[in-house]
Amino acid sequence: MKKSDRADIISKTLNEIYPKTPIPLNHKSNFELLVSVLLSAQCTDERVNKVTPSLFKKANTAKKMATLRYNTIYNIVRPCGLAPQKASAILKLSKIITKEFKGKVPSDIGDLEKLPGVGHKTASVVVSQGFNIPAFPVDTHIHRLAQRWGLSNGKNVKQTEMDLKKIFPEQSWNKLHLQIIFYGREFCQARKCYGLECKICRICFPNRKKRVITKKA
């Protein structure tokens, strides 16, 4: 089966299972989305969603967040892990957004990547989910499934992102990246399936016998 045929099967199957793709991080603005995505690094969405209401009650804009003390932010976000770095980044990026972008989160991915604590993946999530600009953020689920589905050789997340963008049409990226994440969490987890058991793996590779060992990003 050709890669393009597998891509068609994957898109059709994911659209059937996940016709709607609600954003898993609760937020009411692009600033809240940016902070939530930053906090989600090495942390579950569920935990982030438990922490952010307290944080956003104190400050739900860059201007307000910039006035908080570091320890105030740190004590709230501590359950998310990597709290010292995340609290510092949130405070610094809030000051930068307030001063350089008039309090509004920039829509340019390059400007976002220059903010403290904001890497390419975080910036991609913000532009895709916050501004509806086509992007294909690659997390561990997408990196794993791209290898199991034979869509990328998985050398690193940058290569995986490039490979997926070549295979799928641009207008599908924003929805598709969430669909793959949802599918990976529900049906093709890191320590299950291994490219042998879930519906998509079985359809795309019916004769596969050996487990797919994921190359780490």
| Residue positions annotated with a catalytic role | 121, 139
Q: Which amino acid is at 136?
A: F
- Phi, psi dihedral angles at 207 (to 5 degrees): -100, 5
Cα–Cα distances in angstroms (integers) from residue 91 to residues 15, 73, 82, 198, 201, in the given order: 39, 8, 14, 42, 43
One-letter amino acid for residue 188 of the chain: C
State how far the Cα of 104 lies from the Cα of 108, in Å rounded to an integer: 12
Q: Which amino acid is at 200?
A: I
Q: How far is CA 37 from the centre of its chain?
A: 7
Residue length of the chain:
217
**Is the separation of the CB atoms in 99 and 92 below 8 Å?**
no
> What are the b/e assignments for 81-113, b being 16+ CB within 10 Å?
ebbeebbebbbebbbbbbeeeeeebbeebebbe
Query: Which run of H or E residues covers position 155?
Result: none
68 in helix, strand or coil?
coil
